[in-house]
Amino acid sequence: MDTAWLSEDEEHAWRAFRRLLTTLPARLNRDLARDSGLSPADYEVLSTLSEKPNHRWALKDLAHKMEWSRSRLSHHAARMQTRGLIDKEPDLQDARGCILHLTDDGFRVLDEAAPHHVVSVRAHFLDHLSPDELAVLRKLSTRIADLPD
């Protein structure tokens, strides 16, 4: 196999990006846990459900969005259900699946967590970018995230 090794500029860019992928989530996750007791996955589930009509979404669709297996999300959802953050309902379109539903307590927890999370996102990330850099980041992130598997 012929390997197209990275140029010096490519290697530096890749290593800087890898460092960002390590440091930024660690800092955001630390703040999220400290400020709300939520994990990043908890926050993703709660915030996604809060944006959906009737605060409901099929487990299979949320698992796809999170790039998790249905099994992994089902186990995580069961833990969140035990904490009263979400409920599960049968999915009439998918006998093996369920519909996840944000509870009033889950919405309250998210509502309390969101302002702290936004402060953290700004402090660790957004406030360090110019409007032009933000536009480039959005364009690049969307292009790369939307690549087919």
**How far is 73 from 5, CA to CA, in rounded Å?**
37
The SS3 assignment for 98 reads: strand
- Per the DSSP assignment, residues forming a β-bridge with 58 are 99
Can you give the pLDDT at residue 32?
98
Question: In the structure, what pLDDT confidence band is assigned to residue 96 with cuts at 50, 70 and 90?
Answer: confident
Q: What letter does residue 85 receive in the DSSP assignment?
A: S
Question: Which pLDDT score is estimated for 149?
Answer: 83
Question: Is 137's pLDDT higher than 90?
Answer: yes
pLDDT for 107 beyond 90? yes
Average pLDDT rounded to a whole number, residues 82-102? 95
Mean pLDDT (whole number) for 112-126: 98
pLDDT tens digits, 14-33: 999 999 999 999 999 999 99
The stretch 103-116 carries a mean pLDDT of: 98
DSSP-assigned beta bridge partners for residue 101: 56, 87
Amino acid at 104: D
CB 43 within 8 A of CB 110: yes
Residue with tokens 């846990």: 33
Q: How many CA atoms lie within 13 A of 90 on its CB side?
A: 3
How much is the pLDDT for 78?
Answer: 97
